[in-house]
Each structure stands twice: as structure tokens, then as C-alpha cells.
Amino acid sequence: MSHAEADHDTRRSRQWLAGEARGAGVDRDRLLELGAAMAALTAAADEREPVAVAPAPVGVDPGTPIAKPLPPDLLRRLDTNAEMRWTALAGQGYVVPNDRFFVRNHTVTPHLDADTWRLRLFGSGLRDAPTRHAPVEFSLDDLRRLPAEESTALLECAGNGRRYFAEQQDDPTPGVAWGLGGVGVARWRGVRLGTVLRLAGLRDDAVDVMPEGLDPDYVTGGVNLGRVRRPLPIAKALDDVLLAYEMNGERLPADHGFPVRVVVPGWIGISSIKWVGPVEVSTTPLFSPWNTRFYRMFGPGHPAEGTVLGAQPVKSAFELAWDARVPAGAELLLRGRSWSGNGPIDRVEVDTGDGWRPADLVAADRGGPWQRWTARWRPPAPGRYTLRARATDATGTTQPDRAAPNALAYLFDGIVHHPITAL
């Protein structure tokens, strides 16, 4: 079975539309109606997604939109989300420190007790088919006693770069108006999901695994879709997926999934479920709204049911303030980072107004989830300039001048025009 996210989602979408894939608690016909309404939704000028949070049960702390401080020099708040400012990486190393790592919440950050938290595995894909109400359980201490692994992995929101569809391509869309700060690399430490699945009694005929978050139910279009969840093929689950309880050498912060989150290298951010609790393991295909109706490409050039999202495309960003002021005539060392969901970055080019030229790559980053680079530039005179950077990944894919439009403005990969003023 292929590990590729697009292959898996395409197969599951076809099975779901044919009524062959299962998704407990969600009415398939109602979801089809909701999907048909997406075109009308995305044509609206509203910049917000139609989202509500289901009321928390009595006695349950509903949490807060974002728990950590949001210093304006590090993060830009976007409703229940927070975008990293690229200037916050100045002087930092390869990974993004926890205090400035972006936050993507579908609802709010829940307040969970590590002592009472349990990972609960159930379903037909486990020996004796334990049920949701009588699952195989692991405490946080149980997970910590298992062999630990560390993975340096990049997470990125599928809507990262969305604002540039409107600002650069005159194609306004609804949704959170991310710049390029909905991305980050961290060192994640935890136990492999495959290790836990095998200890729970994984069957040879299991085909899908679906982690589910413990944040409040997600409500959109008047429909309560339950908790955020998204299936993985068993091959991917047994490969490199991590149940992480540490981030950059610290206890996993609340906004990033405390006490335990899923980290799925190479797949779009929604796959890396935060605050994981229930995990269904099934011998039949699974689906959820987050791989059949949402996180799909709608609009011109796409079928009515949408097109699955593939790997994150190539992107580049300068570690520089938007519309920065710099001294004219002085030599500047421009810094930036490039990344791709298809593989390591092979080369980066920079244009300061006089044509494309190669940037210098940081050798230590080669082969990693993102690539740091530098380029020297001396603004010849006072005035306005536009900086551009474009990268090419190991597959030979280069950033285009313009991103292909889609109704929900996912997977922006166009070259960003970064304004700067020399004084």
C-alpha cells in the first residue's frame, strides 16, 4: 500500500462516495449536502470560516482559544490561531522555539489533566475488537516507559500563504488569512504509533487508523461534525508517525497538543492530530469530514466533490519584516528558509530587482525538512524595492510565479513579493 497522502485520500474518497467507507457519527448524505454548499460559501467575501464551538459538558473546562502568551513581535493573532512572524527567527537556530511556533486551532486549546489522560485504542483492527467504551488504554507514564524516539519534522497548515491569493493575485477567498507563518520545524520526542498499535493487538488485516482530538466538537454550517479526526493508512501509521509528548526538549505545550499529539511527517498539518485521545483501528476503510469534504480543492478545474490535497508545495520566506526599512548603500545579509512536502530543497534563488541569482545554502541543513539560506545585497539608492525568493526541491519542482487558484485557497506556492524600503 502506498504511503502517499494523496493516494490514500483519493482511494478513501472514492470508497466514501460509493458508500464503502465508514465514518461513525457523521451522516453521509448530510455531508454531501454540506460539500455542495461549499461553492456558495467560498464565493462570499467574508474572511472568516463559519465555525462555532459546541458547548462543553457540564463540569468540563472548555479551554481557551490560545493558552500561551502572544507577544506581537513573535506572533500575529488570527482568531483562534496565531501566525509566527518571520522576524522572530532572527538569531534562532534550525528549529522554531516553542514560544513562537504557530498555533492552528479548529476550536480552542483544551485544559487536560496528564494524570487522568488516556490513549484509548479500539476497533475491528485490534485483537478481540475492543469497543470505544471498553478500549485498550495507555497512560502517559505507560508511553514514557516505552522506547523513545526523536524526530525533527515540519508541520504546516494547508492554508499557509492564503492571504497572497488576494494580495498578489486579486483572488480573495474565505478562511484564515495566513501569511507564510503557519509553518514550523521542531524536535518531537515520543513513541512510535506503530509500537503502541502492536502492543494493543494490531491485526494483520487492519487497513486504517484514525486518531481523534480531545478539543471541543467542531460545528460548521449548522452541523456538529464532532471532534477533529483524520484517518491514516496502516502502512503510514507503522512507518514514521510519532505519538509525541515533548517538543524541543520540553514538555509538550498546551497549544501544541499536551499531553500527547500525533506527528505525521510529510503530510498536511491536519493529519497531526493534537490532544489525541481515542484512536480507532479498523479492518475496513474509514473517513472523516477532514479527508472527504474539508482539506480538498474546490472550484474551477476541480470536480464537484473536490480534489484531494497532495503534499505541501515548495515555499520560500525571508526572515525579514514585511515592508522593512533598511539603510541605502549598506551591504545587507538577507536570510530566509525554503521547504517542500515533496522532499529536501535542492537550490534557492533570490531576486532583488536585477534578476535571479543563486542564494548560499546552509550546508548543515541539506536533506532536512527545510533549508536556511543567505544572499548579500546592497540597495543602490533610497527607494522602494521588491525582494523575491524561489526554491527548487529534490524532485525538480520550482515555485511558480502564480499559485493555481482554488475556492478554499489551499497550497499557495507562488513567489511572494516582499516589499522593502531603503532610506
pLDDT, tens only, 298-323:
888 888 888 878 788 999 999 999 99
Q: What is the pLDDT of residue 47?
A: 31
The parts of the chain modelled with pLDDT lower than 70 are: 1-63
In the chain, what is the straight-line distance between the N-terminal and C-terminal CA atoms, in Å? 58
Q: What is the pLDDT of residue 41?
A: 41
* Closest-CA residue to 316 (of 251, 393, 389): 389
Q: DSSP E strands: which ranges in 329-369? A: 332-339, 345-351, 356-358, 360-361
Q: What is the pLDDT of residue 11?
A: 63
Other C-beta atoms closer than 10 Å to the C-beta of 40 total 8
Q: Model-level pTM?
A: 0.88
Q: DSSP E strands: which ranges in 26-139? A: 51-53, 75-78, 81-84, 119-122, 136-138
Taking the CA atoms of 82, 85, 90 and 95 in sequence, report the sign of the dihedral they define.
positive
Q: What is the pLDDT of residue 309?
A: 80
**230 phi and psi, to 5 degrees?**
-155, 130
DSSP 395: T
